[in-house]
Each structure stands twice: as C-alpha cells, then as structure tokens.
Amino acid sequence: MNDKVEAIKSWLGTGSINIFGLPMSGKDTQGIKLAETLGAKFLSSGMIIRAMEEQTKNHYTDHGALIPTNVFYEWVLPYFERPDLFNYPLILSSIGRWHGEEDQVMSVAAGAGHEIKAVIILNVSEADVEKRFEAAKTLNDRGDRPDDKDLETFKTRLKEFREKTAPVLQYYNSLGLLIEVNGDQSREQVFNEIVEKLYQKTLKSPA
C-alpha cells in the first residue's frame, strides 16, 4: 500500500481529485481519509455552501435543490486560489455538481495550480442510499441539516443528482478522467479500491 500511495503522490503533485456520488454514498468520509493519506487538503462543496448559507442567510439548498451556478462560482471557486492551498494537492468532494460548470471548475483549478487529474464516482444505488438515510435519521448522526430534514427532501437531492450531476460524470468520462468505484462495500474496502484504481491510473499516465 505504501508504495502505491507514494506513486499516487508523485503523479498527483499539487493537482486535484474530485469525488462524486449520491447523497450518503460516503464522499466526505472517503475524501477526508484520502486527503490525510496523500498529505492533501480537503474541500467539500457541501460544507462550503452550508457555511455560506448560514453566513448570508440565503438558504438555497434547504429543500434539496442545488445552488444556482452563479452562486456556486462566487462561493466555491475562489477556494482554489487560497494562498494556504498553493503547495498542496486537493481532494474535492463534488465541486461542480451542475452540468455546465465543469469547464469553469477545470479552468480555475488548473489556473491555481490544482489541475483536476482524476474524478471518482462512488457507485451506490438510490435504494441503498435511502436505507442509509433512514438509518442516519434513526441514529441522528448527521446533525440538524435542512437538506436532510425528511425523505421527501432527500429524494429531491437524488433527483437533482440524476438530472444535473450525472451528465457531469459523463463529461469527465469522455475526457478519460472518470474512475468508477463500488461504494457498496465496507469503508475500508471502498478506500482500498480507490487507492488501487488511482495507482492503476498512474501506471497509464505519461512519465
């Protein structure tokens, strides 16, 4: 594992890996662990947006919808150019969820020295993430998030992913950046698959 991690670090440099998946698929859990393993910084669009919504009192996502693209550009993209991130690789959690935002995300990331070098999709079925949602509500381990308030809101989030984010993944796939990972495994198995598939990608990259 250590040799593979070192190979990934060398290949990634100060670039970015963007992780996508349905709500409750484990994006932030895996992203944080990957960032710690690679010595990278972790950026979650969800965390940034929730913080900005609280600060501005503009609650775009309370009912499960994605924020408007112009607001996404204003709130999230400036993070790529933060001086404290300049010399670090970045692990991103769903930065650019709405089809049409991809080119701007890639341009800003590259311009800041964080070229997007891989995009991971954690594949989990809608039925399975609904079960995870219900379990999380029972355990009350997600906090008091408005976008998690009930199953109807959660299903709106699934619909937004299906209609707006799935085409984003198709776009990244057309560029040869997409890596598919089975998200319906234990957390450790998911992480090990991520590392293995990133390592395989390094072997296919030009020296």
Tell me, what CATH number does 133's domain have? Answer: 3.40.50.300
In the predicted model, is pLDDT for residue 206 greater than 90? no
Q: How many angstroms from the chain centroid is the CA of residue 83?
A: 21
156 inside domain: yes
Task: State which residues form the domain around 164.
Answer: 2-202
Question: Quick check: is 170 in a domain?
Answer: yes
End-to-end CA gap in the chain: 21
Structural domain includes residue 207: no
* Domain presence at residue 88: yes
pTM, rounded to two decimals: 0.93
User: Does 25 reside within a domain?
Assistant: yes
**Residue 115 is assigned to a structural domain of this protein:** yes
The string of pLDDT tens digits covering residues 95-132 is: 999 999 999 999 999 999 999 999 999 999 999 999 98
Average pLDDT (134-154) is: 74
Residue 98 covered by a domain = yes
Residue 163 lies in a domain: yes
Residue with tokens 């960032």: 35
According to the model, what pLDDT value does residue 136 have?
82
SS3 of residue 15 by DSSP: coil
pLDDT tens for 8-22 read 999 999 999 999 999
pLDDT of 204 > 90? The answer is no
Total structural domains in the chain? 1
146 has a pLDDT exceeding 70: no
Q: What percent of the chain has pLDDT over 70?
A: 95
Confidence of residue 151 (pLDDT cuts 50, 70, 90): confident
Distance of alpha carbon 68 from alpha carbon 98, whole angstroms: 9
- Choice between 1 and 99, residue whose per-residue pLDDT is larger: 99
More confident residue, 207 or 194: 194
